[in-house]
Structure 1
Amino acid sequence: MTDPAPRRRPSRAAGTAFAWTVGAVLAVAVLAVAWVGVRGWLAYGHLREAQDSVAAASASIDDPAAAAALLGGVGDDTSAARSLTSDPVWHAAETVPWVGPQLAAVAHLAASIDDVAADALGPLSEAASGLSADALRPVDGAFDVARIAALEPAAGAAATALSGASDDLAGIDERPLLGVVREAVGQARDLVSEASVSADALHRATRIVPAILGANGPRTYLVAFQNNAEWRSMGGIVGAVAQIDTENGRISLGAQGSSGDFRAPAPDDPVVALPEDTLRIFGTRPARFIQNVTQLPDFTMGAPIAREMWLRETGTAVDGVIALDPVSLSYILRATGPITLPTGDVITSDNAVSLLLDEVYRRYEVPAQQDAFFQSAAASVFQALADGRADPAALIDALTEAGEQRRLLMWSADAAEQSVLDGTTLQGALPVSDDDRTAFGVYLNDGTGSKMDYYLHVDVETAWCGADAASLRVTLRNDAPDPATLPAYVTGGGAFGVPEGQALTGVYVYLPEGAVLQDQRLSSTGSAASATTDTDRGHGVVKWSVQLAPGQQAELLLKAGTPATAELGALLTPTVYANETSRVGVGCAFPE
């Protein structure tokens, strides 16, 4: 028997080769990590520089040429960041578990921001470089409508680019991302989304403003002034109206009137036929009285009625209808500065609301005198705008704020122009719910026949109740002083059966489209509140009636079955108080 052959030992050369191989792999890995790390840090620096440039440009918005110069260098930084995060080594590292999704998200983010810089900031910078704030001031009483229209191509390109980038960033999967990366993606997504909304608004404005100002021929508009001291769904009762005429950028004030100047058709003869759902809920009054056209919670329905009423009274078929309230005027007065009225009063952004909705009723007992004061105030503010006294940037901010709060509404008789307003707050349409957003509508209407709503406050809160339901809480409170200190015109004097100082309110809650009412609860320290249900154009409607004396409050709780979405909210009637808006609560109003 022979001894087995001795086991061969690995040669020194083989061991050395293996060690070198492992070392080389480790070295390549270290170099790759270092490469990715250094390039990632450099990319971060470039994105920060781009962010700082955009912030500086925003701060220089009053000087568009300077802002354009600052934006000019943004593309260099975003392009560098994109290049640093798109080489083969970086792409290879994106396949590595755990760290790969972080790198892929950063590369995706850099590419999207670079697309924004190239396709959105570029056109806007080019347009801004040839436009100054003074170009938005009237010259010899006329606005340069051609110059405004010339911004449309650039604004359109920017809006398209930002919309695409917003959709692109929305596609990034945040689930595997670390906190710092997830936060960066979320911030970029929010910023681009906000910029997309702004660019879309600018594009719409460049399309419709020249036409409104008579660039294509004479235009005529009816302006309805809403009084928030007497609630209607869209804001307040229409107390005063004015006709505005425009041509080639020039604006002039035509006829003025008050609600008392309109004839009221017979109950069986409304100026237009209302849909069956609307008639069942509101009756014919919105189609018979100019005061009530804003009772309809849809300006696209109420505005054509106001147009028809004006046509019957004056024979003029206006091209559109605009509505605004005293709070909107207070915003505009920030841009114009104080204005002296024919009465000697000085109206300012600070006193406009109290002067128009409170003091005027204490000073004048006769409604005709009150109407004359309103008309003189509106005419004075209008004249200041026509004379170019408003700071353009401040005026844009004022109109934007009023529009976002649904205090400034617009409807056009031209279908193509009206389509430009589709989906905007200016349209004043019913709440829209879709795959991304769920929206209630809370519409307030006075039932006292008075101006007591100046003293009423409303609080609205929405919250999710799991994945398939949402709750809504509406709280009303009467903070009026001793009724003996108020004029009879403000309290109503008991004319409609409501004791002086008390306020009767009808609240119409529109549920999200397709939502099913699951529960409702009422509580009140005042008269017994009541609620009934109905439907209107795909919305369930809860009608709540409540009467409150000074110091009393009432609450309505609703729970509606509807799938949870990313956003939840409620459209609310604009009140005297600008800070009264709906909010999202931290918990369901119907705890298990």
Structure 2
Amino acid sequence: MPETFLPPAARTAGRVVVWVLGLALLLLVFAIGWLGVRGYLAYWHLSAAQQKAPAIAKDIDNLSAARAALDDLAEDTSNARSLTSDPIWQGAEGVPWIGPQLAAVADVAEAVDDVVDGTARPIASVAGGFGVKAFVPVDGRIDTSVFSALADPAAKAAKVAASARDDVASIDRTPLVTPIADAVDKLGGLLSEVASGTDALARASALLPSMLGADGPRTHLLLVQNNSEWRTLGGIVGSMTPIVAKDGALALGEQIQARGIPSYPDSVLDLGDYRTIYNAKPGRFLQNITQVPDFRLTSQLATEFAKRNGVTADGVMSIDPVALSYLLKATGPVTLPTGDVLTSENAAGFLLNEVYIRYPDADQQDLVFSAAAGAVFTALTKGDVNPGALITALGRAGSEHRLYLWSAKKADETVLAGTTLAGEPVQSTADTARMGVYFNDGTGSKMDYYVTPDVQLSWSGCGTGSTPRTLSLQVTLTNTVPADAATSLPEYITGAGSYGVPEGIARVVGEVYLPAGFAIGPSTTSTGAGFGGAMIDGRQVLSYTFDLKPGETESVSIDVVADTDIREAEAWVTPTADASRSPIVDASCDPTGSDLSLR
């Protein structure tokens, strides 16, 4: 109908509708342009921050420079946060499809800014006052005031980092386009690392002053595990060395050789359910205290053995030669009185194998081990240490379950609880099924240096909402010793036929601690004589024994089944002499089907 025939009110209403639609369209175009420009600028600032971060981490030795660089980086993250938090951006977050993308970007920008401003900058501000070199000993002493000064900012930073990690983890990935979902996943992984790192710093800052004797002298026992003769936590304990800490000063005491400590007719402490698998051996012989998969009990056994031999200890530390090789990257090579030179490349092989070939007498071996411990201790405490490399070495050793720490003081144990250093028994969580895959030597020798374990973990039944799910473990053991080992290797390595095991054969006694809530599936098999078992603290444990001839391979396959939504799994494996094999094997369910995602 022509406009001239419309009533005036209708014509006016029509113009209003046109004006409103036109204004709305104009506002929409403006909003899209606004969001596009601000989105691009936010992306630019986040990209700039991402490019600057590695350089800061690489130059961490120079904390003054790091503080300035962090201020610059913080400006980028703050701008990105501001650009993605204005009213127009927030209003658009409710729009279908595009809204979740904008909300995710805003959440990411907020989390990154929180971490930089509430974690990295405060720590760098305090640490910059004394420099990163203050974290390492000088002339045998560590300045405990460094950690005291860091305690409060580190604790606050840990809370900020954990909150940022949780915020990003809670972002719903379902409506996100692939690039944004991938970016959120990647950031989530990075924030988990940051949260772990700041948590470790907070705990260390709270723990170390007292353990280093700031509140009175402390005596710690240093255990060096020998991965050539397997025990659950790594290897036998050949010796204990007291380390006395007083106001940050560290002094090495006289080494206590395990061969010189008598065995006892029964366990020196109550072993609880562990006795059903290991009998009384962990509490009768010092060499066997690492047979239980709980470093807290191992430490209590160690202090009891020490007490019965005239030494009172307040704590226990444990390390293995592979972890020592990591530390040597920070100290550089050390020379022993024998003329042998230990480097990060040869230390593990020398201490776990070559020493038995070059020094067949047990007393000579003990002297070499004592000299090696003293040389590494001196190198670590004299002050000529690369602090960045030292922190990296300690972090790697801890994450690989090659470094443990225990304190007899309840307050210290509370700080350690839940960390890899505490050495607590493997436990599942709400989202991760965990099992223990442990090896113990049955040869009475150093043959395990030649045994190669291959541990594989996989899921099936991983489709969305499908239960039950099956978690499959495959353990394969191969004896790589030379065919003529019986005649070419020293008896101290082959075992000389002890315990009824012919020379050249490696007897491995394995235990698998199943995840709580999982039942054994029908496909569980062994190429050996089958499985034994027991219940430990309410969880099922399978055991098996292999006698491996030179070149021989044996394997076990264990399936466990549960009605569960858990999609992550880990196997904690006895750390071996091979640094290239991670003691943590993990697997993830693919939610789109039954495929396995191995990492």
Please tell me whether the aligned partners of residues 438 and 565 of structure 1 are also in contact (alpha carbons under 8 angstroms).
yes
* Displacement of 1:7: 11
Please tell me whether the aligned partners of residues 135 and 387 of structure 2 are also in contact (alpha carbons under 8 angstroms).
yes
Does 54-63 or 21-30 show the bigger shift? 21-30
Please tell me whether the aligned partners of residues 282 and 290 of structure 2 are also in contact (alpha carbons under 8 angstroms).
yes
* Residue of 383, 390, 410 corresponding to 1:388: 383
1:203-352 map, 5 Å: 203-266=202-265, 269-275=266-272, 277-314=273-310, 316-352=311-347
What secondary structure sits across from 1:496 in the alignment?
helix
1:318-467 map, 5 Å: 318-466=313-461, 467=467
Please tell me whether the aligned partners of residues 473 and 589 of structure 1 are also in contact (alpha carbons under 8 angstroms).
no
Question: In 1, Cα distance between the equivalents of 2:330 and 2:13?
Answer: 83
Match of 2:129 in 1: 130
CA distance 1:317–1:522, change in 2 (3 Å): same
CA distance 1:10–1:79, change in 2 (3 Å): farther
What secondary structure sits across from 2:270 in the alignment?
coil
What secondary structure sits across from 2:498 in the alignment?
coil
* Displacement of 1:378: 0.8
* Displacement of 1:158: 0.8
Please tell me whether the aligned partners of residues 299 and 316 of structure 2 are also in contact (alpha carbons under 8 angstroms).
yes
Match of 1:507 in 2: 510
Question: In 1, Cα distance between the equivalents of 2:526 and 2:439?
Answer: 18
Amino acid at match of 1:324: I
Amino acid at match of 1:124: I
Please tell me whether the aligned partners of residues 219 and 314 of structure 2 are also in contact (alpha carbons under 8 angstroms).
yes
1:473-532: CA deviation from partner (whole Å, max 9, x where unpaired): 1111111112122111111121211111111111110011222222353344xxx33212
* Displacement of 1:23: 2.6
1:17-36 map, 5 Å: 18-36=17-35
Match of 1:3 in 2: none
* Displacement of 1:17: 5.1
Question: In 2, Cα distance between the equivalents of 1:414 and 1:519?
Answer: 46
What secondary structure sits across from 1:439 in the alignment?
strand
Match of 1:491 in 2: 494
Are residue 63 (structure 1) and residue 66 (structure 2) matched? no
* Displacement of 1:14: 6.4
* Displacement of 1:264: 0.9
**Structure 2 residue ranges without an equivalent (≥5):** 462-466
Amino acid at match of 1:583: V
Question: In 1, Cα distance between the equivalents of 2:442 and 2:276?
Answer: 17
Question: In 2, Cα distance between the equivalents of 1:95 and 1:112?
Answer: 20
Does 536-545 or 9-18 show the bigger shift? 9-18
What secondary structure sits across from 2:233 in the alignment?
coil
1:148-163 map, 5 Å: 148-163=147-162
* Displacement of 1:557: 0.9
1:90-135: CA deviation from partner (whole Å, max 9, x where unpaired): 1221121111111111122222222223322231131232131332
Please tell me whether the aligned partners of residues 61 and 133 of structure 2 are also in contact (alpha carbons under 8 angstroms).
no
1:94-109 map, 5 Å: 94-109=93-108
1:32-80: CA deviation from partner (whole Å, max 9, x where unpaired): 1111111111111122222233222112111111111111123322222
Are residue 181 (structure 1) and residue 180 (structure 2) matched? yes
Question: In 2, Cα distance between the equivalents of 1:580 and 1:329?
Answer: 16
Match of 1:521 in 2: 524
Match of 1:40 in 2: 39
Question: In 2, Cα distance between the equivalents of 1:453 and 1:289?
Answer: 19
* Residue of 583, 586, 591 corresponding to 2:585: 583
Match of 2:190 in 1: 191
Are residue 93 (structure 1) and residue 92 (structure 2) matched? yes
Does 556-565 or 338-347 show the bigger shift? 556-565
When normalised by structure 2's length, the TM-score is: 0.93
Amino acid at match of 2:504: G
Question: In 1, Cα distance between the equivalents of 2:261 and 2:124?
Answer: 50
What secondary structure sits across from 1:151 in the alignment?
helix
Match of 1:469 in 2: 470
Please tell me whether the aligned partners of residues 123 and 157 of structure 1 are also in contact (alpha carbons under 8 angstroms).
no
What secondary structure sits across from 2:551 in the alignment?
coil
Please tell me whether the aligned partners of residues 300 and 411 of structure 1 are also in contact (alpha carbons under 8 angstroms).
yes
Question: In 2, Cα distance between the equivalents of 1:584 and 1:304?
Answer: 30
Question: In 1, Cα distance between the equivalents of 2:280 and 2:526?
Answer: 31
**Structure 1 residue ranges without an equivalent (≥5):** 1-5
* Displacement of 1:566: 4.2
* Displacement of 1:439: 0.7
Question: In 2, Cα distance between the equivalents of 1:381 and 1:549?
Answer: 36
What secondary structure sits across from 1:388 in the alignment?
coil
Question: What is the number of residues matched between the two proteins?
Answer: 578
* Displacement of 1:457: 0.6
Please tell me whether the aligned partners of residues 104 and 171 of structure 2 are also in contact (alpha carbons under 8 angstroms).
yes
* Displacement of 1:585: 5.4
What secondary structure sits across from 1:78 in the alignment?
helix
Match of 1:553 in 2: 553
Please tell me whether the aligned partners of residues 141 and 388 of structure 1 are also in contact (alpha carbons under 8 angstroms).
yes
Amino acid at match of 1:84: L
CA distance 1:182–1:89, change in 2 (3 Å): same
Please tell me whether the aligned partners of residues 472 and 589 of structure 1 are also in contact (alpha carbons under 8 angstroms).
no
CA distance 1:476–1:160, change in 2 (3 Å): same
CA distance 1:9–1:575, change in 2 (3 Å): same
* Displacement of 1:21: 3.6
* Displacement of 1:381: 1.1
What's the C-alpha RMSD, in Å, of the aligned pairs? 2.1
* Displacement of 1:294: 0.4
Question: In 2, Cα distance between the equivalents of 1:279 and 1:494?
Answer: 26
CA distance 1:265–1:18, change in 2 (3 Å): closer
Please tell me whether the aligned partners of residues 508 and 546 of structure 2 are also in contact (alpha carbons under 8 angstroms).
yes
Question: In 2, Cα distance between the equivalents of 1:223 and 1:520?
Answer: 43
When normalised by structure 1's length, the TM-score is: 0.94
1:12-33: CA deviation from partner (whole Å, max 9, x where unpaired): 7766554444332222211111
Please tell me whether the aligned partners of residues 222 and 322 of structure 1 are also in contact (alpha carbons under 8 angstroms).
yes
Question: In 2, Cα distance between the equivalents of 1:576 and 1:311?
Answer: 30
What secondary structure sits across from 1:73 in the alignment?
helix
Question: In 2, Cα distance between the equivalents of 1:298 and 1:422?
Answer: 12
Match of 1:567 in 2: 568
Please tell me whether the aligned partners of residues 72 and 125 of structure 1 are also in contact (alpha carbons under 8 angstroms).
no
1:319-348: CA deviation from partner (whole Å, max 9, x where unpaired): 011111111111111111111111111111
Amino acid at match of 1:169: V
CA distance 1:529–1:578, change in 2 (3 Å): farther
Question: In 1, Cα distance between the equivalents of 2:88 and 2:381?
Answer: 61
Question: In 2, Cα distance between the equivalents of 1:503 and 1:123?
Answer: 54
